[in-house]
Chains A and B, each alone.
Chain A
Amino acid sequence: MSIGELLRSAVADGRLFHILPRLPSSPTNRLLFGSPEVNRLVTGPWTSPDEEYRCGKLWEDFDRYIEGRRISVALDNPYKHPKSTYLSRLDPPRDEVWEIRSRDPKPGIRVFGRFVDRDRLVVFNWGFRYCLGGPDSNEFRREIRKCITEWRKVFLTFPPHVGSRVDEYVSDPTLSV
């Protein structure tokens, strides 16, 4: 079975969701797939008005990627990229675990995933930034391990997409930082 068939199978049986732009008229220029855990964030139900508000902002952050709008991407400097970076490859780069950084409003949210191919990102788990500590903390490493474990449940022994330039992961427009 190919990795494409595994993805289709996971979407067909509800282990992954194809996350679409919130506005029915918006284009889909990059693909985003999310675990039920991540999908619940944007579709609800939410436990409080604060959570509903925060997750409304998160879905618009997802739409920036999905609709093909400009995003800032950090490939090589996991500890030094600007705080405002949208998409960042985490340390160690060989794990190919990425985070979508939804910073505003507080509490910030980090969503973890791996690329299946260029413009095809699968996100599995998430955490509030204040719970994660520094980028080399045990909590961060636990989320990275969880992301890899969840990947293997869906994609078995297939490795994630590997690239050496930003445009090998995400099509333009991007801002490399």
Chain B
Amino acid sequence: MSMSQIQPFLSEILNDQPIPLGKLAYFRERFRDRLYEMVVDEFLKREASGFSRADLARRIGKRPEQITRWLGAPGNWTIETVSDLLLAISKAEPDVRLMPLEGRPNRNYVGQDQLIASFETRFEL
């Protein structure tokens, strides 16, 4: 089966070698997305109790369209954006913790094959 996983992705990172640009880019974007998930989860919780995008916009002096863009994707977020959004949505500040990359179990390839198999089964009925 053709899979896109190539040589060990974490080798330079875990062996104190220079980290290739593509991997730096990958983890920057991943970090940004973690913050995005936290902010959107918080917003959806408050939205369920009546807090709107307009309310959020008003609290931080932005236009509602800007809020819609920010909640769509974290592309142009800065640290300041995250701080403003969490302050206005949750009346809180984030508590950042580290998650070591070393020692994590590999994904379950059997489970993945089952995912594909279940899909094939549906179409072969």
Contacts and interface: CB of A to CB of B under 8 A. Distances in A.
A22 B29 CA distance: 12
A84 B75 contact: yes
A53 B22 contact: yes
Contacts of A28: 107, 111-112, 115
B21 A11 contact: no
Contacts, number: 148
Contact of A24 (B9, B23, B69, B73): B9
Contacts of A25: 104-107
Contact of B4 (A3, A19, A49): A19
B72 A72 contact: yes
Interface in A1-21: 2-5, 7-8, 11-14, 16-21
Classify chain A's interface size.
35 or more
B106 to A, nearest CB: 5
Interface in B58-86: 65, 68-73, 75-76
A46 B119 contact: no
Q: Which applies to chain B's interface (DSSP): helix, strand, loop or mixed?
A: helix
A42 B4 CA distance: 8
Nearest to A61: B29
B124 interface: yes
Interface residues of B, number: 49
A56 B22 contact: yes
B121 to A, nearest CB: 8
A8 B116 CA distance: 9
A27 B5 CA distance: 13
Interface string A51-74: 011111101110110000110100
Interface of B: 1-6, 8-10, 20-30, 33, 36-37, 40-41, 65, 68-73, 75-76, 101, 104-107, 111-112, 115-116, 119-124
